[in-house]
Protein backbone atom coordinates (compact mmCIF):
# COMPACT_ATOMS: atom_id res chain seq x y z
CA UNK A 1 0.00 0.00 0.00
CA UNK A 2 2.78 2.42 0.92
CA UNK A 3 4.49 1.64 -2.41
CA UNK A 4 1.30 2.54 -4.34
CA UNK A 5 0.96 5.84 -2.47
CA UNK A 6 4.58 6.69 -3.23
CA UNK A 7 4.01 6.00 -6.93
CA UNK A 8 0.85 8.12 -6.89
CA UNK A 9 2.72 11.00 -5.25
CA UNK A 10 5.55 10.63 -7.76
CA UNK A 11 3.04 10.71 -10.60
CA UNK A 12 1.60 13.99 -9.29
CA UNK A 13 4.99 15.56 -8.80
CA UNK A 14 7.11 16.82 -11.67
CA UNK A 15 10.25 18.91 -11.50
CA UNK A 16 10.06 19.06 -7.71
CA UNK A 17 6.79 21.02 -7.70
CA UNK A 18 3.43 19.59 -6.73
CA UNK A 19 0.58 20.50 -9.08
CA UNK A 20 -2.05 21.75 -6.64
CA UNK A 21 -5.41 23.45 -7.37
CA UNK A 22 -4.06 26.92 -6.48
CA UNK A 23 -1.20 26.47 -8.97
CA UNK A 24 -3.71 25.25 -11.55
CA UNK A 25 -5.87 28.39 -11.32
CA UNK A 26 -2.83 30.66 -11.41
CA UNK A 27 -1.41 28.90 -14.47
CA UNK A 28 -4.74 28.94 -16.32
CA UNK A 29 -5.20 32.66 -15.66
CA UNK A 30 -1.63 33.35 -16.83
CA UNK A 31 -2.44 31.38 -20.01
CA UNK A 32 -5.16 33.95 -20.70
CA UNK A 33 -8.19 31.98 -19.53
CA UNK A 34 -10.97 33.48 -17.42
CA UNK A 35 -13.03 31.64 -14.82
CA UNK A 36 -16.76 32.40 -15.01
CA UNK A 37 -19.26 30.59 -12.81
CA UNK A 38 -16.80 27.76 -12.18
CA UNK A 39 -15.98 27.20 -15.86
CA UNK A 40 -12.98 28.32 -17.89
CA UNK A 41 -13.29 30.54 -20.98
CA UNK A 42 -11.06 32.23 -23.51
CA UNK A 43 -11.60 36.02 -23.47
CA UNK A 44 -14.50 37.25 -25.60
CA UNK A 45 -15.87 33.73 -26.04
CA UNK A 46 -19.06 32.42 -24.45
CA UNK A 47 -18.20 28.76 -25.04
CA UNK A 48 -16.44 27.18 -22.04
CA UNK A 49 -13.22 25.20 -22.55
CA UNK A 50 -11.88 22.23 -20.57
CA UNK A 51 -8.20 22.95 -19.93
CA UNK A 52 -5.67 20.35 -18.89
CA UNK A 53 -2.10 20.95 -17.68
CA UNK A 54 1.05 18.89 -18.20
CA UNK A 55 4.41 19.68 -16.63
CA UNK A 56 7.65 19.42 -18.63
CA UNK A 57 11.20 20.33 -17.63
CA UNK A 58 12.44 22.28 -20.64
CA UNK A 59 14.71 25.00 -19.23
CA UNK A 60 17.25 22.73 -17.56
CA UNK A 61 16.24 23.90 -14.08
CA UNK A 62 13.36 23.31 -11.69
CA UNK A 63 10.53 24.09 -11.49
CA UNK A 64 9.01 22.50 -14.56
CA UNK A 65 7.25 24.51 -17.25
CA UNK A 66 3.47 24.22 -17.66
CA UNK A 67 1.75 23.24 -20.90
CA UNK A 68 -1.96 24.14 -20.99
CA UNK A 69 -4.03 22.05 -23.41
CA UNK A 70 -7.50 22.86 -24.76
CA UNK A 71 -9.74 20.58 -26.77
CA UNK A 72 -10.79 21.88 -30.17
CA UNK A 73 -12.91 24.98 -29.67
CA UNK A 74 -14.82 27.38 -31.90
CA UNK A 75 -13.00 30.09 -29.91
CA UNK A 76 -9.72 29.17 -31.65
CA UNK A 77 -10.72 28.58 -35.28
CA UNK A 78 -8.15 26.75 -37.36
CA UNK A 79 -6.97 24.66 -34.40
CA UNK A 80 -8.77 21.48 -35.49
CA UNK A 81 -7.42 18.97 -33.00
CA UNK A 82 -6.84 21.30 -30.08
CA UNK A 83 -4.54 24.01 -28.80
CA UNK A 84 -1.70 24.38 -26.35
CA UNK A 85 0.25 27.17 -24.67
CA UNK A 86 3.60 26.92 -22.86
CA UNK A 87 4.27 28.91 -19.66
CA UNK A 88 7.27 29.31 -17.33
CA UNK A 89 7.26 29.82 -13.56
CA UNK A 90 8.79 33.20 -12.75
CA UNK A 91 8.62 32.67 -8.98
CA UNK A 92 6.27 33.81 -6.22
CA UNK A 93 3.20 32.50 -8.04
CA UNK A 94 3.89 34.36 -11.27
CA UNK A 95 3.71 32.55 -14.63
CA UNK A 96 4.77 33.93 -18.00
CA UNK A 97 3.50 32.67 -21.36
CA UNK A 98 6.36 31.52 -23.60
CA UNK A 99 4.18 30.91 -26.67
CA UNK A 100 0.88 32.10 -28.07
CA UNK A 101 -1.89 29.51 -28.43
CA UNK A 102 -0.57 26.95 -30.93
CA UNK A 103 -2.62 24.44 -32.89
CA UNK A 104 -1.58 21.09 -31.48
CA UNK A 105 -2.49 18.01 -29.53
CA UNK A 106 0.82 17.22 -27.80
CA UNK A 107 4.08 18.92 -26.84
CA UNK A 108 6.97 16.62 -27.82
CA UNK A 109 10.38 17.46 -26.26
CA UNK A 110 13.21 16.95 -28.77
CA UNK A 111 16.84 15.93 -28.17
CA UNK A 112 18.51 19.27 -28.94
CA UNK A 113 19.01 22.27 -26.65
CA UNK A 114 19.66 25.96 -27.24
CA UNK A 115 20.65 28.39 -24.46
CA UNK A 116 19.83 25.59 -22.00
CA UNK A 117 16.25 25.11 -23.26
CA UNK A 118 15.11 21.87 -24.93
CA UNK A 119 13.94 21.97 -28.51
CA UNK A 120 10.26 21.09 -28.80
CA UNK A 121 7.80 19.87 -31.38
CA UNK A 122 4.05 20.39 -31.34
CA UNK A 123 2.19 17.41 -32.78
CA UNK A 124 -0.88 18.39 -34.78
CA UNK A 125 -3.91 16.44 -35.93
CA UNK A 126 -2.77 16.92 -39.54
CA UNK A 127 0.36 14.78 -39.17
CA UNK A 128 2.91 17.60 -39.48
CA UNK A 129 4.85 18.69 -36.39
CA UNK A 130 6.33 22.22 -36.29
CA UNK A 131 9.72 22.22 -34.55
CA UNK A 132 10.70 25.07 -32.21
CA UNK A 133 14.08 26.19 -30.82
CA UNK A 134 14.74 28.65 -28.00
CA UNK A 135 16.39 31.81 -29.38
CA UNK A 136 16.84 35.21 -27.73
CA UNK A 137 14.26 34.60 -25.01
CA UNK A 138 11.47 32.83 -26.89
CA UNK A 139 10.64 29.71 -28.89
CA UNK A 140 10.83 30.20 -32.66
CA UNK A 141 9.82 27.86 -35.47
CA UNK A 142 12.84 26.05 -36.92
CA UNK A 143 11.19 23.69 -39.37
CA UNK A 144 8.77 20.81 -39.43
CA UNK A 145 8.74 17.06 -39.25
CA UNK A 146 6.19 14.60 -40.66
CA UNK A 147 4.77 12.37 -37.94
CA UNK A 148 2.87 10.27 -40.45
CA UNK A 149 3.66 9.57 -44.13
CA UNK A 150 3.00 12.68 -46.22
CA UNK A 151 2.13 14.72 -43.12
CA UNK A 152 3.99 17.85 -44.25
CA UNK A 153 3.72 17.32 -48.03
CA UNK A 154 1.33 20.22 -48.66
CA UNK A 155 3.16 22.60 -46.31
CA UNK A 156 6.61 22.55 -47.88
Q: Please give the pLDDT value at position 10.
A: 33
Q: pLDDT digits over 87-131, tens only? A: 999 888 889 999 988 888 899 999 999 999 999 999 887 788 999
**Cβ–Cβ under 8 Å, residues 28 and 35:** yes
CB atoms within 10 A of CB 24: 15
Q: How far apart are CA 54 and CA 101, in angstroms?
A: 15
Tell me the three state secondary structure of residue 139: strand
What residues have CB less than 8 Å from 97, skipping those under 6 apart?
30, 31, 32, 85, 86, 87
Q: pLDDT digits over 59-86, tens only? A: 988 888 999 999 878 787 666 778 899 9
**Cβ–Cβ under 8 Å, residues 123 and 129:** yes
37 pLDDT tier (thresholds 50, 70, 90): very high
Domain boundaries defined on the chain: 14-155
The residue among 147 and 37 whose pLDDT is bigger is 37
**Cβ–Cβ under 8 Å, residues 87 and 97:** yes
- Cα separations (Å) of 152 from 21, 90, 127, 130, 133? 38, 35, 7, 9, 19
pTM over 0.85: no
Amino acid sequence: MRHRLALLALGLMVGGAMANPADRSTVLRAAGLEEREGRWHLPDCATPVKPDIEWHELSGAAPAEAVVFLEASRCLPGHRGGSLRLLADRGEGSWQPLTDWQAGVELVPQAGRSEGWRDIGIATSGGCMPLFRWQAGSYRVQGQKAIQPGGCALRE
